[in-house]
Amino acid sequence: MHLSTDEMREWVDGYIAAQNSQSAKNDDENHWAIQKFFDLEMDHPDLCWKAILNILHREPDEAVLGILAAGPLEDLIHYHGDRFIDEIELEARQNPAFRHLLGGVWESSSPEIWNRILEARDNKAW
């Protein structure tokens, strides 16, 4: 599956708008953007990873970042941590905002992956 640049931008815009609304209930016009993570997380985690990074790049407020960390990023780590851990570590080394985002993730995945997540988010030497 592939998303065009415009489709990715629409997803990112919709997700931020939905999380910024007073409530992200199912009847919100942008709820589809939240649901899209659930729809894609198992079979297309690469698209979820790309969307997470795009949302982070847009510098949403802390409330949106908290939901992004505890939702889509945490799910990605839980279900696909072994596949994405190298990319997660690299992004954490290069991007302080991503390292901060990792701070909102609760323990998930295997103990080995989780230890690497802790190191990636806490290592100030990078």
Residue 24, in any domain of the structure: no
The pLDDT of residue 1? 86
Residue 47, in any domain of the structure: yes
Residue 97, in any domain of the structure: yes
Taking 50 as the threshold, does the pLDDT of residue 4 lie above it? yes
* Torsion angle of the four alpha carbons 82, 71, 51, 64, in this order, in degrees rounded to the nearest 10: -140
Taking 60 as the threshold, does the pLDDT of residue 126 lie above it? no
From residue 67, alpha-carbon distances to 41, 60, 73 in Å are 16, 11, 9
Query: pLDDT tens, 59-78?
Result: 999 999 999 999 999 999 99
Residue 89 lies in domain = 5-19+29-122
Query: pLDDT tens, 73-91?
Result: 999 999 999 999 999 999 9
The pLDDT of residue 122? 87
Amino acid at 122: D
What is the mean predicted confidence (pLDDT) over 5-32? 86
What is the mean predicted confidence (pLDDT) over 100-108? 95
Q: Look at the chain and report how many structural domains it folds into.
A: 1
